[in-house]
C-alpha cells in the first residue's frame, strides 16, 4: 500500500506537499512539456500587482557559489492581464493555484487584488508577498519591508483576512533579527500558513570593473547556499506557531525537501532548482514516496517536525 502524501494548508488539501515557488515557474505553462503539472501539490504563481510592472533594469541576475542573486523587481503583466490571459491556462493544469500578490505603494492594493480574484473558482489560495527585497527605486531609498515589522505584518493580514475564506498564506522575509516574532504576528492576525524563507539580501561585485554585478546593487540570494538558514528558521518557527509552514530555500532534491519537513514544514516549495532541472518537482514527489516506503512510514504528516534534538 502506498504511503499517504496528502497534506492540508488551511482549508486547502494538497495531494502531496511539493509546490513550486513564486517567480521560478512562470505561470505553469512554461514547464508543461517537462512534467505533468497535475501531479504537483500546488502551483504558486509569479507575483501579481495591480498594475503591470516592467521590473528592474538589467543586469538583474547572476550566479554565486551554490546559488544565484536576482533582482527581477516583480515583473508581471498586472491584474487584468493575469485574469484574462494567464489564469485560463493555469486552470487547465489541474493543480491547485495559489496566487501570489503584492502591493507596489499603498497596502490597500491587497484589498483590490483579493476582491478581484476571490470569486474565481480556480484560485485556491492567496500568498501575501510582503517580503520581496527587490522592489526598490534606488539603493539610497531603501525602505523596510512589511514583513520586517511584526505590527505592520499583523495589520495587513488582519485587514485582508476578512475579505476571503480561501487559504491565506503569508510569505516572510529572513532579513530580520527574529523570524519567530514575525511568524507569531502572522498567526495572530489570521494567516492560515506562513511561507519561509524568501531570499536573503546579498551583493556581488565584478572585480575587473569594480561595479556591482546587479544593476540595483543588492539583490535576493537563493539556492542551496541559503538552505541551512532556511531550515533553522523553519525549525524555530515550528516550535512557536501552530499554523502550517511552507518551507523553501535551496531545495534541490528529496533529501533537502525532507530536511524541511522533518524540521517542521507541512509542505515545501521548489524555486531556483526549477531553472537547473525542470523535472525536479516530480523527482522529489517520487523520492518522498520511496523514502516513506523504505522507512515504513504510512503518512508523511508523521514526519512533520520529527527532528530529534538530544
> What pLDDT is recorded for position 94?
94
Q: Is residue 210 part of a domain?
A: no
pTM for the model stands at 0.95
CB–CB of 281/25 below 8 Å? Answer: no
> What pLDDT is recorded for position 136?
42
Q: Is residue 2 part of a domain?
A: no
Q: Is residue 84 part of a domain?
A: yes
CB–CB of 262/301 below 8 Å? Answer: no
CB–CB of 281/274 below 8 Å? Answer: yes
Helix runs in the chain, H state only: 79-81, 87-92, 109-117, 150-161, 179-189, 227-238, 254-263, 273-276, 280-295
For the chain, residues with pLDDT lower than 70 are 133-144
Q: Let me know how long the chain is.
A: 310
Render pLDDT for 27-37 as a digit per residue (tens, 0 to 9): 988 899 999 99
Render pLDDT for 149-179 as a digit per residue (tens, 0 to 9): 999 999 999 999 999 999 999 999 999 999 9
Q: Is residue 46 part of a domain?
A: yes
CB–CB of 254/284 below 8 Å? Answer: yes
Q: Is residue 310 part of a domain?
A: no
Q: How far apart are CA 271 and CA 11, in angstroms?
A: 24
Q: Is residue 63 part of a domain?
A: no
Tell me if residue 132 is catalytic: yes
Q: Is residue 148 part of a domain?
A: yes
Q: For cell 521548489, name the residue.
A: 270
Q: How far apart are CA 79 and CA 83, in angstroms?
A: 6
Sign of CA dihedral 245, 250, 251, 256: negative
| Domain extent for 108 | 7-55+73-199+223-302
Select from 187, 162, 200 the least CA-distant residue to 68: 200
Alpha-carbon distances of 107 from 32, 134, 142, rounded to whole Å: 34, 17, 17
Q: Nearest 5°: CA angle at 223, between 217 and 229?
A: 95
Q: Is residue 190 part of a domain?
A: yes
Render pLDDT for 44-89 as a digit per residue (tens, 0 to 9): 999 999 999 999 999 999 999 999 999 999 999 999 999 999 999 9
DSSP 194: E
In the set 132, 146, 226, 230, the catalytic residue is 132
Which CATH number goes with the domain that contains 85? 3.20.20.70
Identify any residues that bridge with 247 across adjacent strands, giving them in sequence order: 196, 268
- Report how many domains make up the chain: 1
Amino acid at each position: 500500500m502506498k504511503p499517504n502524501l496528502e497534506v492540508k494548508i488551511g482549508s486547502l488539501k494538497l495531494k502531496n506537499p511539493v509546490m513550486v515557488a513564486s517567480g521560478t515557474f512562470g505561470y505553469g505553462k512554461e514547464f508543461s512539456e517537462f512534467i505533468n503539472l497535475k501531479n504537483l501539490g500546488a502551483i504558486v504563481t509569479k507575483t501579481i500587482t495591480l498594475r503591470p510592472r516592467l521590473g528592474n533594469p538589467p543586469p538583474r541576475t547572476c550566479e554565486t557559489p551554490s546559488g544565484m542573486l536576482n533582482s527581477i523587481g516583480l515583473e508581471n503583466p498586472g491584474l487584468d492581464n493575469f485574469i484574462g490571459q494567464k489564469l485560463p491556462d493555469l486552470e487547465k493544469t489541474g493543480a491547485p493555484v495559489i496566487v501570489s500578490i503584492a502591493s507596489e505603494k499603498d497596502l490597500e492594493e491587497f484589498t483590490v487584488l483579493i476582491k478581484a480574484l476571490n470569486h474565481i473558482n480556480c484560485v485556491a489560495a492567496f500568498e501575501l508577498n510582503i517580503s520581496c527585497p527587490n522592489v526598490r527605486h534606488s539603493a539610497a531609498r531603501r525602505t523596510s519591508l512589511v514583513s520586517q515589522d511584526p505590527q505592520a505584518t499583523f495589520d495587513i493580514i488582519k485587514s485582508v483576512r476578512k475579505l476571503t475564506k480561501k487559504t491565506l498564506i503569508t510569505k516572510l522575509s529572513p532579513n530580520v533579527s527574529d523570524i519567530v516574532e514575525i511568524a507569531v504576528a502572522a498567526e495572530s492576525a489570521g494567516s492560515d500558513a506562513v511561507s519561509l524563507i524568501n531570499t536573503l539580501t546579498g551583493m556581488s561585485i565584478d572585480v575587473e570593473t569594480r561595479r556591482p554585478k546587479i544593476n540595483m546593487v543588492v539583490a535576493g540570494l537563493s539556492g542551496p547556499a541559503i538552505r541551512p538558514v532556511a531550515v533553522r528558521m523553519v525549525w524555530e518557527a515550528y516550535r512557536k506557531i501552530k499554523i502550517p509552514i511552507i518551507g523553501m530555500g535551496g531545495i534541490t532534491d528529496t533529501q533537502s525537501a525532507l530536511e524541511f519537513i522533518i524540521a517542521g514544514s507541512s509542505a515545501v516549495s521548489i524555486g531556483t532548482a526549477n531553472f537547473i532541472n525542470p523535472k525536479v518537482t516530480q523527482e522529489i514527489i517520487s523520492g518522498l514516496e520511496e523514502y516513506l516506503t523504505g522507512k515504513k512510514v504510512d503518512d508523511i504528516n508523521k514526519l512533520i517536525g520529527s527532528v530529534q534534538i538530544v
